[in-house]
Structure 1
Amino acid sequence: MLNVFERWYKRKFSDPDSMMLLLLLLISSLLLAVWGGILMPVLVAAVIAYLLDWPVVQLCRLGLSRGYTTILVLFGFISVSILTLVGLVPVVVQQSINLIKEMPQIWEKGQVWLLTLPKTYPDLIQLTQIQDVLDGINERVVGLAEQLLSASFSSLGGFGALLIYMILVPLMVFFMVKDKEMLVSNISSLLPSERRLIKQVGTEMNLQIANYIRGKVIEIVIVGTVSTVTFAFMDLRYALLLGVLVGFSVLIPYIGAAVVTIPVAIVALFQWGLTPDFWYLMVAYGIIQALDGNALVPILFSEAVSLHPVYIIIAVLFFGGLWGFWGVFFAIPLATLVKAVGNAWSSPKELTTET
């Protein structure tokens, strides 16, 4: 057994480049694990910088200076973000409040329907089983309400931090985009000379992350807009709120689409019951999801490394459990990183090592 491990170790890590790559990964993971909360504004700024770098590069090709184009693009991004928040957030918040107010009525109708099941299927379902399920759900609902209440009070303390982020993040984004070449050069100078595999993985991940962030933002906007327009056209209540939920559900592949189907179906069922309107809506919603998965995603992420759905779900669960929202957001790039590292360690060693 020891001989097998020794042969594996020599095959994978006898190359100094492999050891440097492993050391860099360990140090990066340690920094994120210990100071991830402190570094969060930097990570947010890096995400936005990746998003804005492409339009800056395109404008620079027209002959404009990078500093000027950075100011122009960043100002446009901030303006669009503010207008979107001012026009979108109040409506979404109001619809959320209205939906929460109606939840007791929805839940009451749901209980009435559940209690009819023992009469409809007496051989399969007993009344005591339904009663136990309802009691368990009611207890969970009460506990969830208490958690939401406590979370709302605790979030007040983070309001000051949010104001600080609103100042720091745009400043960091500006300098990250404007001085991109200088920052990359400074980081490169800190790396060891044995960096062939580090450069190989870094080049692949730079392309993947840039493509992923741009594609994911475009996907959220398209899916959210189409869903909102479809729901509003079919006169579904809370169309904007549900459309926003459907848009953000694409952040979590497969799982998000399955989860967000529940509130869409519940609102439609409460509004129309099991009528043709309900089924028309669910068919339209299914078409949106099918077009997203089979047409939009292949177009937007044509440059992305293909990953098996099982690997994607595992990555979402693992990295989401580690870093919450940002772990979910970067689940696919992080899974791609793992794959790139594995490919780098499995690739034949080059005779020359870049210094």
Structure 2
Amino acid sequence: MLHMLNRWYQRRFSDPHAVSLVVILLGGFLTIYFFGSLITPLLVAIVLAYLLEWPVARLNKLGMPRTLSVAIVLLVFAGLMVLALFGLVPTIWHQITNLSADVPKMFNDLQIYVSSLPERYPDFVQPAQVVDLMNTLREKVLGLGESVVKGSLASLVSLATIGVYLILVPLLVFFLLKDKDEMLRTLLNVLPKNRRLASKVGSEMNQQISNYIRGKVTEIIIVGIASYVTFEVMDLRYAVLLGVLVGLSVLIPYIGAAAVTIPVAMVGLFQWGWTPDFWWLLLAYGIIQMLDGNVLVPILFSEAVNLHPVAIIVAVLVFGGLWGFWGVFFAIPLATLVKAVWGALPASDNNLSPSDVSEKV
């Protein structure tokens, strides 16, 4: 067994380029793990730079100077963000306020319905079970209210941080786009000389991350708008808020779609009850999720679709646990990175048959 492990290690890491690749990746992982909260503005700026690099490059190819291209793209992007901010945020805030005001009524309706279960189904539901359930739900609702209050107070404190981000992030995006080539040359001078494999993996991942970020933003917009239009046509309450939640849920593959189903179903249930309208809502929502997963995602993320769903979920759990939001957001590219690194390392004993492996052990 030790002989097999030693041979595997020698064949995988005897090449100095492979060692350099592992060292570079380990350094990047540790930097984000320990200093991720400190460099959050830089990470946000890098994501936006990847998103805006495509239009900047297109303007540059048309003969426009890169600095002017960057300035025009940033101004257009900022204008769109301001329009979205003033168009969506007041409506979303108004619907959040209305939903918060309706929560007590929803809870009372739920309590009345649950209390009637022992009479409807005496063989399956006991009054003591109903009392325990309602006490648990009451504690959860009170705990949620306290969390909202604490979160509101914390958000007041973080307003200063947001103000700083609004200044730092645009500046960082501007310089990342304007001086991209110069910064890349500086970075290459710092990296180890034996970086053939690192350059190969880096080139592949650079293109994949760029496509992933643009695809993810496109997916959020398409799914969010489709959900809002569907909810609005069905006259569902809080259509804008729920449409935004459904759109943002695609940030977390599989898990996000399952989680956002709960508020959509709860709002529909308390608005219509167990009526055909409620079931039509679930059917329409299911169709949106099916089209997203089986049509939109394969078109936008043809490379990432090659990953098995289990690998994607494991990547979300592992990288999300390590790096929080950024780990979840980049779960698919990071899983693809692991796959690319494994493929880039020198060949090992992958071609051995099970009988050969057992003999070596």
TM-score band by shorter chain is: over 0.9
Say if 2:254 is the partner of 1:254.
Answer: yes
SS in 1 for 2:324: helix
Distance 2:182 2:28 in 1: 21
CA contact (8 A) 1:49 1:177 kept: yes
- Could you tell me which residue of structure 2 aligns to residue 351 of structure 1? none
CA contact (8 A) 2:17 2:194 kept: yes
CA separation of 1:74/1:347 partners in 2, compared to 1, >3 Å: closer, same or farther?
farther
String of CA shifts for 1:46-87, please: whole Å, max 9, x gaps.
000000000111111211111111100010001100110011
Q: Structure 2: give runs of 5+ residues left out of the alignment.
A: 349-361
- Could you tell me which residue of structure 1 aligns to residue 264 of structure 2? 264
Distance 1:284 1:30 in 2: 44
Question: 1:304: Cα distance to partner?
Answer: 3.5
- Could you tell me which residue of structure 2 aligns to residue 235 of structure 1? 235
- The 5-angstrom pairing of residues 1-355 of structure 1 reads 1-304=1-304, 306-347=306-347
Identical residues among aligned pairs (%): 56
- Count of aligned pairs: 348
Distance 2:100 2:3 in 1: 62
Runs of 4+ in 1 over 3 A off after TM superposition: none
Amino acid at match of 1:156: L
Distance 1:14 1:263 in 2: 54
RMSD (Å), alpha carbons = 1.5
Distance 1:227 1:143 in 2: 30
Distance 2:183 2:302 in 1: 28
SS in 2 for 1:252: coil
CA contact (8 A) 2:253 2:312 kept: yes
SS in 1 for 2:282: helix
String of CA shifts for 1:258-280, please: whole Å, max 9, x gaps.
11111111111111111121122
Question: 1:235: Cα distance to partner?
Answer: 0.8
SS in 1 for 2:116: helix
Normalization by structure 1: what TM-score?
0.94
Q: Structure 1: give runs of 5+ residues left out of the alignment.
A: 349-355
- Could you tell me which residue of structure 2 aligns to residue 353 of structure 1? none
String of CA shifts for 1:17-58, please: whole Å, max 9, x gaps.
111111112211221122111111110000000000001111
String of CA shifts for 1:300-348, please: whole Å, max 9, x gaps.
1124462111111111122222222222111111111111111112548
Normalization by structure 2: what TM-score?
0.93
Question: 1:212: Cα distance to partner?
Answer: 0.6
- Could you tell me which residue of structure 1 aligns to residue 351 of structure 2? none
CA contact (8 A) 1:211 1:303 kept: no
Distance 1:259 1:288 in 2: 15
